[in-house]
Structure 1
Amino acid sequence: MAADVWDVLVIGAGPAGAVAAAALAERGVRVAILEKDLRLEAKPGEVLTPNAIAILSHLGLLDLIEANDNLACPLACIDRAWSMARPNREHFLGHLGGRAWVIDRVALERLLVSRAMRASVDVFLGHHVRGLSRRHGYWSVQARSSDGLASLRASFVVDASGRAATVARRLGAKRKSLFRLLALHVQSAPDTERQSEPASLTIEAAAVGWWYAVCGPRQTLTCALFTDDPVLARSGAARSTLLTALDDTNSLPRWTKELVRSGRMRSVDASPSLLGQPAGEGWLAIGDAAASFDPLASQGLANALASAVAGAEAIGAYLKGDRVPVEAFAVRTTETWRHSVRQLFPIYQAAAHRWPTPFWQAHSSA
């Protein structure tokens, strides 16, 4: 390592971590990122809706997203078959201020890490945090890699480790889930030979949960079932169960069934959850580490980017001796998450009227 002492250590090289690190480095702060993975694996496509335009512009990403077909493709509309049998369509193309995109998450993460490195952020891949302690105003972070155990020191630590909340949990912060939610998702390989169509996102409620289907950059197809049934996540039964569950749907794209039948299936935790303590003396959590939003809101990525910018501003003030912005950041994080929950509650209630099943009854009363 070029140095073993930094002003700020960021744990996690996802969008939130990379953006926060770059923002701090551009202020002249010495920053390093520790990322446990050596390479980025494929992830489901994500959507940026019009309310992300402001943060994208602030970060200088808007023009890049609109110009790079491998990074993003315009989203024409969202079809929501939620509390009614026929979908309600929300258009984006051709509407002033209504732009939206389907994002290649891996391509975005690579772009943001590259930007951080160009801003003089030190990035260490394959480093797993094994311990941390604070003494005399400095953090000591132990990280293990293929080269052995390294000790790094910093004045401030940022937890950008996603739902794992590696730093916060080690410091005793508790995480509370609003309800259990699993995402069983299937994704195709990119296929530039597939006939290109304007991207559209379909969301449809079913008895056991709700479906998500979208065609993203390079004609990559993604579909997912969000459910709370752990039996569905068992590999032996999941595929046949999903195919049966598709029989309850009417609005999903024609390609969905074939993708479920032949694509690679994965199960991930998608539960909306919040850290009881998103910040403390000399540390704060950003992105999913601080607050994981209900995927139904399609706001996770935009909120992660906004959280990174706000967190970097608070850290900059902290390093100059002002602790108040870090405390205010923690309050805003909690308020933003709770506001999102309140907005979605009526949608779950409406779906429960159409589908009076255990899934919807539980989620409409959470």
Structure 2
Amino acid sequence: MTPAAPAAAGHARYDVVVAGGGPAGAAAALALLRAGRTVLLADAGRGPAQVGEALPAAARVLLRDLGADRALTEGHLPCRANRSAWGGPELGWQDSILDPHGPGWHLDRPLFDRRLRAQARAQGARLATGTAVRPVARTADGGWTVELRGPGGSRPARCRWLVDATGRRAAVAIACGARRLVRDRLIAVHLTLGPADPPTPDTTTTVEAASDGWWYTAPLPTGRRLLAWYTDADLPAARTALADRLAATRHVGPLAGAHPWPPDTAPRRAPAHTARLDTVSGGGWTAAGDAAVAFDPLSSQGILTALFTGLSAGRAVDAHLSGDPDALAAHARTVDAVGAAYLRNHRTHYAAERRWPDRPFWQRRHTPTPEETPG
């Protein structure tokens, strides 16, 4: 990044460039478009594979506010209940019939993301697929010159503001000097199993605690099943064969056993730690979604939080560009409040599991306030 530069002729110009085409980026773009802003939505189409495809029913309200409720019209599987063996060996149930919003969804995540981006394009966004955003220089009027790196090479563009929705990498924010603060070392070791034959009627998510972490499994709309083992990256449990650990489970193993293990496919690893930026806005940029604050998947709030903070960021940037001096600070307070509520629930939920008090994974989570470290 270089100091302020004069405006260059011939550069494409936008009010806002949104880096990242997932739920947070699409939500920010939709909020800005509804306010009358010109937006470039750049989707790099890379990064770690998504783990955990569930969306709570409360997302209906956010998607309706964004004019994007058609993203859920078809192609997804309803989630009728959440089950967990946590704090004891038996399964407890939380049925969707008790939720005033109805059932949630097991998402076809690529389909969901494509529909959100398509809705942004339908509302007037310029969509750049396979394109990464690199901030190059501040312009004399306080905006940005950015480099758009896509399939056809690199090209410049100008904007008044940047939104970082690049996920846990927080690529724009970190390039602009922000720091990523990491609270733990949680990872997901995950695999997508083949379709069951005959198909199974299960439409629930299932979580099962174990001595060195916890398991998650859920059906996918394709008939396949997601299987994920969560533990800390530095523990031996992160390197043990997934099938060996699965054999010791009481509930997840039988569900997974109805689905064929994909041949010649090794489990993949993805970051799942709790993290946040030390600031969610800076000179000419604002962060949303996992770029701003990333949660342990046990919360089941990742996509919902991405939509919510994307909507908040879009509205804040619009208000700031319209002259509201408190808009960005209000967005920061919103993200802080979401993070604080998450940490309270996170501590409560992990405290409920006390069967393995001598195991490092659980000892770490029973520590009152783990220290955040730059990461």
Q: Identify whether the pair has TM-score above 0.5, normalized to the shorter chain.
A: yes
1:151 aligns with 2:139: no
Question: Which position in structure 2 is the counterpart of 1:35?
Answer: 43
Question: Which position in structure 1 is the counterpart of 2:106?
Answer: 102
Question: Which position in structure 2 is the counterpart of 1:116?
Answer: 120
The structure with the greater share of residues assigned to helix is 1
1:168 aligns with 2:170: no
Partner of 1:341, secondary structure, is: helix
> 1:130·1:142 contact (CA, 8 Å) conserved in 2?
yes
Question: Which position in structure 2 is the counterpart of 1:50?
Answer: 57
Whole-angstrom CA distance in 1 between matches of 2:129 and 2:25: 13
Question: Which position in structure 1 is the counterpart of 2:252?
Answer: 252
* Superposition deviation, residue 194 in structure 1: 4.5
* Superposition deviation, residue 349 in structure 1: 2.1
Q: Size of the alignment, in residue pairs?
A: 356
Instruction: Choose from 20, 24, 32 the match for 2:28.
Output: 20
Whole-angstrom CA distance in 1 between matches of 2:95 and 2:36: 42
Partner of 1:144, secondary structure, is: strand
- The equivalences for 1:340-359 within 5 A come to 340-354=342-356, 356-359=358-361
1:125 aligns with 2:157: no
1:23-44, Cα deviation, whole Å (9 max, x unpaired): 2123221110222238x99644
- The equivalences for 1:174-193 within 5 A come to 174-189=179-194, 191=195
> 1:213·1:253 contact (CA, 8 Å) conserved in 2?
no
- The equivalences for 1:1-366 within 5 A come to 4-37=12-45, 43-62=50-69, 65=72, 67-68=73-74, 70=75, 72-93=76-97, 96-136=100-140, 137-189=142-194, 191=195, 194-230=198-234, 238=240, 241-252=241-252, 254-257=254-257, 261-262=261-262, 264=265, 265-354=267-356, 356-365=358-367, 366=370
> 2:316·2:328 contact (CA, 8 Å) conserved in 1?
yes
Say if 1:225 and 1:260 are closer, same or farther in 2 by CA, change over 3 A.
Answer: farther
Whole-angstrom CA distance in 1 between matches of 2:103 and 2:66: 17
Partner of 1:217, secondary structure, is: coil
Whole-angstrom CA distance in 2 between matches of 1:59 and 1:118: 13
* Superposition deviation, residue 13 in structure 1: 0.7
Whole-angstrom CA distance in 2 between matches of 1:304 and 1:182: 19
Whole-angstrom CA distance in 2 between matches of 1:64 and 1:147: 29
> 1:274·1:290 contact (CA, 8 Å) conserved in 2?
yes
Whole-angstrom CA distance in 2 between matches of 1:53 and 1:134: 38
> 1:45·1:105 contact (CA, 8 Å) conserved in 2?
no
Whole-angstrom CA distance in 1 between matches of 2:57 and 2:24: 19
Partner of 2:363, secondary structure, is: helix
* Superposition deviation, residue 338 in structure 1: 2.0
RMSD between superposed Cα atoms in Å: 2.5
> 1:74·1:199 contact (CA, 8 Å) conserved in 2?
yes
* Superposition deviation, residue 350 in structure 1: 2.5
Structure 2: 5+ residue runs without aligned partners?
Answer: 1-9, 371-375
Larger deviation: 43-52 or 343-352?
43-52
Whole-angstrom CA distance in 1 between matches of 2:52 and 2:297: 12
Partner of 1:312, secondary structure, is: helix
> 1:75·1:93 contact (CA, 8 Å) conserved in 2?
no
Q: Which amino acid aligns with 1:104?
A: D
Say if 1:145 and 1:64 are closer, same or farther in 2 by CA, change over 3 A.
Answer: closer
* Superposition deviation, residue 212 in structure 1: 0.2
> 1:44·1:105 contact (CA, 8 Å) conserved in 2?
no
Whole-angstrom CA distance in 1 between matches of 2:157 and 2:135: 11
Whole-angstrom CA distance in 1 between matches of 2:132 and 2:308: 26
> 1:242·1:260 contact (CA, 8 Å) conserved in 2?
no
Say if 1:325 and 1:194 are closer, same or farther in 2 by CA, change over 3 A.
Answer: farther
Q: Which amino acid aligns with 1:144?
A: R
> 2:193·2:227 contact (CA, 8 Å) conserved in 1?
no
> 2:11·2:158 contact (CA, 8 Å) conserved in 1?
no
Q: Which amino acid aligns with 1:30?
A: T
Say if 1:128 and 1:33 are closer, same or farther in 2 by CA, change over 3 A.
Answer: same
Whole-angstrom CA distance in 2 between matches of 1:196 and 1:61: 31
* Superposition deviation, residue 219 in structure 1: 1.6
Whole-angstrom CA distance in 2 between matches of 1:79 and 1:111: 29
1:229-252, Cα deviation, whole Å (9 max, x unpaired): 347698xx65xx222222332121
* Superposition deviation, residue 305 in structure 1: 0.5
Whole-angstrom CA distance in 1 between matches of 2:340 and 2:132: 31
Say if 1:351 and 1:210 are closer, same or farther in 2 by CA, change over 3 A.
Answer: same
